[in-house]
Amino acid sequence: MQQLALTPSFLGVKIDMGEKNLYTRCMNNKKTIGDLMHAHGLKKTPIRTGMLELFMAHDFALSASDIVAKMTAGHDKVTIYRALNSFEEHGILHRASEDGHGIKYAMCSSHCPDEPHTDKHAHFVCDVCHQTYCLEDVEVPEVEVSNEFSVSRANYTLCGICKKCKN
Amino acid sequence: MQQLALTPSFLGVKIDMGEKNLYTRCMNNKKTIGDLMHAHGLKKTPIRTGMLELFMAHDFALSASDIVAKMTAGHDKVTIYRALNSFEEHGILHRASEDGHGIKYAMCSSHCPDEPHTDKHAHFVCDVCHQTYCLEDVEVPEVEVSNEFSVSRANYTLCGICKKCKN
DNA sequence: CAATAAATGCAACATAGTTGCGTTTGTTTA
DNA sequence: TAAACAAACGCAACTATGTTGCATTTATTG
Ligand SMILES: [Mn+2]
Ligand SMILES: [Mn+2]
Ligand SMILES: [Zn+2]
Ligand SMILES: [Zn+2]
């Protein structure tokens, strides 16, 4: 079970190997990165291998441009985008936040503070019409978070089909 | 207290006046749109008045391009963006979702489905370094939502300062 | 090694949002 | 009511993010 397939010498990608536990994400059922791709009917190419190694070597989420920047061997961003889409379609990567179709604004209520703020209610984004509704009566629930993080705002967004698009 | 300042004849903006209750958002403390802007030290200009009328006439959030499209008198998008920023700074509008600095991806765990999915855990986005962390052990809390909406996914994002940036 | 489908690279494009700068306009105050 | 001033506007140019079409290359299978 040689796990050395993971040695990130590839492509000149510099990877800090400090956080071993990240490996468990894909290694804990005896899968190498290559096995993982093959299991999904994807080809094991240098770029895609390098990308997945990058993901395993970081404890935070990466954007397309993060990856373009970290891969030294000047690859085309189109390739990166297509690989990310493919990984997402196969459930190898998940997106760590809804992208949204641009920023949307809504009217504040009279008890809002006179400064930029996130409101205390949840929002709903329709997958069909992409409209965003303020759910004024749905409070954002609170959660317990490790005190490594100082939380100042919370955002709760539901997705699905809106009242208009259900018909 | 003539509220006719609200008649949205302005700029040829077409507004459906069906939903009176939306007016309460800024009218319930005897403020007209003009008063609202003046109270914040903003000038009452035709464009900004038209924009706020648009917001009051819709029960969903609007993007900059929504507004550009709905204002018939071809205004520059830069003006719209600057007005939105200004309204947000003054707590007149709030954004209905974090924009995020592009989509971020993270590795799925082994029990994720082999298809696109939103994960069941919360995420944390740092205001300083903009890094996104998966809070694998923080479950997204469930909420009760009006059955006008069919909810298929939920997104819970916390914002603040991350462990690295606290130092 | 040959066949095939997946992956890549390039060019061109689309959308969202920003910055600088000169001009116009709303509000205040004399 | 005219001048003064800051806020708001419009234009041009620019950055960032993401997409599409098409020709070429490469990984896998047999
Ligand atoms: Mn809202
Ligand atoms: Mn996650
Ligand atoms: Zn809808
Ligand atoms: Zn940070």
Residue of A nearest to B144 (CA): A138
d(Cα B33, Cα A40) in Å, to the nearest integer?
56
Q: Which residues have CB under 8 Å from A91's CB, separation 6+?
A: B108, B112, B113, B114, B115, B116, B117
Give pLDDT, residue B72.
Answer: 80
Give pLDDT, residue B97.
Answer: 77
pLDDT digits (tens, 9 = 90+) for A38-77: 999 999 999 999 999 999 999 899 999 999 999 988 899 9
Only one residue has tokens 């990166």, namely A80
Which residue in B110, B117, B149 has the most chain A C-beta atoms within 10 A of its own C-beta, making it the best mutation to test that interface? Answer: B149
% of chain B with per-residue pLDDT over 90: 54
Q: Which of residues 54-83 of B touch A (CB under 8 A)?
A: 55-56, 59-66
Task: State whether residue B164 sits within 8 Å of chain A by CB.
Answer: no
pLDDT digits (tens, 9 = 90+) for A129-149: 888 999 999 999 999 999 999
Give pLDDT, residue B151.
Answer: 94
Residue B108 has pLDDT above 50, yes or no: yes
Residue B4 has pLDDT above 60, yes or no: no
* Host H or E run for residue B81: helix B77-89
What six digits make up the tokens of A127? 């997958």
Residue of B nearest to A33 (CA): B107
| Mean residue pLDDT across chain A | 79
Residue B19 has pLDDT above 70, yes or no: no
Residue B86 has pLDDT above 70, yes or no: yes
What six digits make up the tokens of A115? 């400064």
Give pLDDT, residue A2.
Answer: 24
Only one residue has tokens 């958002």, namely B25
More confident residue, B1 or B154: B154
Most confident of A5-14, A106-115, B18-27: A106-115
Amino acid letter, residue A104: K
More confident residue, A23 or A148: A148
Which of A10, A32, A63, A112 lies closest to B99, judged by CA? A63
Question: Which residue has the least CA–C1' distance to nucleotide D9?
Answer: B79
Classify each residue of B42-63 as buried b or exposed e, where b means 16 or more C-beta atoms within 10 Å of its C-beta. Answer: beeeebbbbbbbbbbbbebbbb
Which of A159, A144, A135 lies closest to B139, judged by CA? A144
Residue of B nearest to A148 (CA): B163
% of chain B with per-residue pLDDT over 70: 80
CB-closest option in B29, B146, B154 to A110: B29
Give pLDDT, residue A1.
Answer: 23
Lowest mean pLDDT among A120-129, B92-101, B138-147: B92-101
Ligand 3 centroid – CA B140 distance (Å): 23
In terms of C-beta density within 10 A (0-12 exposed, 13-18 middle, 19 or more buried), how is residue B19 classed?
exposed
Three-state SS at B18: coil
Residues of A in contact with B109 (CB under 8 A): 25
Q: Which of residues 1-20 of B touch A (CB under 8 A)?
A: none
Ligand 1 centroid – CA B140 distance (Å): 19
- DSSP output for chain A: --GGGG-TTGGG-------GGGGHHHHTTT--HHHHHHHTT----HHHHHHHHHHHH-SSBEEHHHHHHH-SS---HHHHHHHHHHHHHTTSEEESS---SS-EEEEPPTTS-SS----SEEEEEETTT--EEEEEEEEPPP----TTSEEEEEEEEEEEE-TTTT-
More confident residue, B99 or B120: B120
Q: B111 pLDDT band (50/70/90 cuts)?
A: confident
Ligand 1 ion: residues within 5 Å (CB):
A 106, 119, 134; B 96
Distance measured from the CA of protein residue A153 to the C1' of nucleotide D23, in angstroms: 49
3.40.50.2300, 3.30.530.20, 3.40.718.10, 1.10.10.10: CATH of B3-166: 1.10.10.10
Q: Where are the domains of chain B?
A: 3-166
Ligand 4 centroid – CA A33 distance (Å): 29
- DSSP structural state of residue B87: H
d(Cα A62, Cα B1) in Å, to the nearest integer?
54
Global pTM value: 0.78
Give pLDDT, residue B123.
Answer: 93
